[in-house]
Chain A
Amino acid sequence: EAQVTQNPRYLITVTGKKLTVTCSQNMNHEYMSWYRQDPGLGLRQIYYSMNVEVTDKGDVPEGYKVSRKEKRNFPLILESPSPNQTSLYFCASRKGQNTGELFFGEGSRLTVL
Chain B
Amino acid sequence: GQQLNQSPQSMFIQEGEDVSMNCTSSSIFNTWLWYKQDPGEGPVLLIALYKAGELTSNGRLTAQFGITRKDSFLNISASIPSDVGIYFCAGKFTSGTYKYIFGTGTRLKVLA
Contacts and interface: CB of A to CB of B under 8 A. Distances in A.
B104 interface: yes
Given A31-B98, A42-B103, A43-B102, A101 B45 contact: yes
Nearest to B42: A104
**Which range contains the number of A residues in contact with the other chain?**
20 to 34
A40 B104 contact: yes
Interface in B1-43: 1-4, 30-31, 33, 35, 40-43
B1 A104 contact: no
Contacts of A105: 42
B88 A43 contact: yes
Given A100-B31, A101-B48, A102-B90, A42 B105 contact: yes
B111 interface: no
Interface in A3-25: 4
Given A59-B1, A60-B1, A102-B90, A45 B100 contact: yes
A90 B77 CA distance: 29
B63 to A, nearest CB: 13
Interface centre among A43, A56, A58, A107 (most CB of B within 10 A): A43
Nearest to B41: A106
B48 to A, nearest CB: 5
B43 A90 contact: yes
Nearest to B1: A59
Interface of A: 4, 31, 33, 35, 40-45, 48, 50, 56, 58-60, 90, 99-107
Interface of B: 1-4, 30-31, 33, 35, 40-45, 48, 50, 88, 90, 92, 98-100, 102-105
17 contacts: A33-B98, A42-B88, A42-B103, A42-B104, A43-B43, A44-B102, A48-B98, A48-B99, A59-B2, A59-B99, A101-B33, A101-B45, A102-B33, A102-B45, A104-B35, A106-B40, A107-B42
